[in-house]
Structure 1
């Protein structure tokens, strides 16, 4: 059975992508480069669902991803981030496999697989790395795919576990302790699998992304979240600050804090009742 397992790295404008994320390091499939690339991507390209609320689809073909996330300097959600990052990694010679996760965030109900991740290998190391660039709240760097791995990345803490049935769970620490963020298996996923998940999260009435504006900006120093009209700022290992904003303030807040600049027409549509 033949699979289309290409990430279309040959079609990527690599120079433009690397300039977008501010990366000027080595262009080789090394572990050091992988760490630097993920940190540059997650701290530069924001998370957002605004196109859905503006009545437009979320295409996952590489030209559309480049135009939006690179050319227009916008953000996206996990499928967009992961496919763009995968194209860059493939172009640079990394080994990679798509993975699909089930977001839990502490919930005890079974949820569909709607979160895209990558398993990545490098040329100078025999370990496998979990690259999660599209969740909106880190990690800053890859996490070794080894049961029990626990990392502290500039105060942001993550813990990777594996259960007996080969289900991996990524836990993240917050002000209230540890929370299970999402679970996944290493069963290979392809772009067609992501297209199906993308259709669900961008169109289904029960998807959180079809109901209200949602944006995130993550850096080593802070994590900003806009959920509807609630703006939350989280600090690594510290308390959260929660503020309510007026709908009319949202375009300015998106531009100044999240790095998402809308044109006048889209800004007006986003805040219209």
Structure 2
């Protein structure tokens, strides 16, 4: 057995039939643009975004077998590093050229945040280099439904949800004119920048570093309360602590407030996440302890 140097995504270890069943894809798996779009849509609308493992007192394990057991084998989800790690392995298994990138979230940020979002630069095999590659972003929790072409300023409408990928300038003291990219999403008041990223390859070991900060730091947005999302073609469901919002493609929003005891039912009904009895108790303990401290 050859030594694993950490360059690839271990596509040979993917349980492809189980993954395809989990996301509900029973179509072609030839590594084409059409397949890429179909898998991206299937993954995004089937596996929710969630950070509950942190609330449950367990580390977020990025080993592929652990991610498959959680996101594929159980009615659970994960956050960007888990989603992107899994999707990269699936695409590699199918024959795509996959390069990971690290993004800096700007949506709702009042200051510069660390680069802690994972994305993928993907090409079908044999695609000419003068044709644009595809940006896959299955781990943000709120779309896009399908990949975006690396074509500066191109706007896409996906079942009423609007996205735009455009070039921008990255912060780089050594090369101040370095061109990066920005992903924008359409909101009720127009286009909003969601995150920025440079075209620097990121590896599995980098995911481990980012994941440690996101899952353990008191400065991480994901260590203080549950944050769960489920994206469909018709609505975006978001649970932030005990507050839930449902946003529709036209920008309208419905909001709900839940009790701690309501959360297991809400997670199952609106997000497809089912916790066992022990985890229900752990989540309630975390929430009540945190409410006393805040």
TM-score, with length taken from structure 2: 0.90
Between the aligned partners of 2:209 and 2:236, the Cα distance in structure 1 is: 29
Q: Secondary structure at the match of 2:69?
A: helix
Between the aligned partners of 1:188 and 1:147, the Cα distance in structure 2 is: 20
Between the aligned partners of 1:256 and 1:268, the Cα distance in structure 2 is: 18
Between the aligned partners of 1:205 and 1:58, the Cα distance in structure 2 is: 15
| 1:15-73 deviations in Å (ceiling 9; x for gaps) | 10111000111121100000000000000000000000110000101100110001113
Q: Is the deviation greater in 241-250 or in 86-95?
A: 241-250
Aligned match of 2:156: 151
Between the aligned partners of 1:88 and 1:73, the Cα distance in structure 2 is: 19
1:234 to 247, 258, 261: 247
Is the CA contact 1:233–1:241 (under 8 Å) kept in the aligned structure 2?
Answer: yes
Between the aligned partners of 2:266 and 2:282, the Cα distance in structure 1 is: 16
Q: Secondary structure at the match of 1:169?
A: strand
The alpha carbon displacement at 1:127 in A equals 2.4
Correspondences of 1:72-83 after superposition (within 5 Å): 72-83=74-85
Between the aligned partners of 2:189 and 2:51, the Cα distance in structure 1 is: 27
What stretches of structure 2 of length at least 5 have no aligned partner? 170-177, 289-294
1:131 to 118, 136, 142: 136
Between the aligned partners of 1:106 and 1:227, the Cα distance in structure 2 is: 14
Q: Secondary structure at the match of 2:262?
A: helix
Is the CA contact 1:95–1:121 (under 8 Å) kept in the aligned structure 2?
Answer: yes
Matched positions, count: 272
Compared CA separation, residues 108 and 161, structure 1 to 2 (3 A): farther
Between the aligned partners of 1:270 and 1:234, the Cα distance in structure 2 is: 25
The alpha carbon displacement at 1:132 in A equals 0.1
Correspondences of 1:66-145 after superposition (within 5 Å): 66-123=68-125, 125=127, 126-145=131-150
Is the CA contact 1:172–1:180 (under 8 Å) kept in the aligned structure 2?
Answer: yes
Between the aligned partners of 2:150 and 2:198, the Cα distance in structure 1 is: 11
What stretches of structure 1 of length at least 5 have no aligned partner? none
Aligned match of 2:201: 188
2:222 to 190, 201, 209: 209
Q: Give 1 or 2 for the bigger CA radius of gyration.
A: 2
The alpha carbon displacement at 1:151 in A equals 0.5
2:56 to 31, 54, 57: 54
Kindly report the root-mean-square deviation, in angstroms, between the aligned alpha carbons of the 2 structures. 1.3
Q: Secondary structure at the match of 1:59?
A: coil
Mapped pair 1:263 → 2:265: no
The alpha carbon displacement at 1:12 in A equals 0.7
Between the aligned partners of 1:143 and 1:29, the Cα distance in structure 2 is: 16
Is the CA contact 1:230–1:243 (under 8 Å) kept in the aligned structure 2?
Answer: yes
Between the aligned partners of 1:122 and 1:140, the Cα distance in structure 2 is: 18
Q: Secondary structure at the match of 2:222?
A: helix
1:27 to 26, 29, 50: 29
Between the aligned partners of 2:164 and 2:132, the Cα distance in structure 1 is: 17
Q: Secondary structure at the match of 2:151?
A: coil
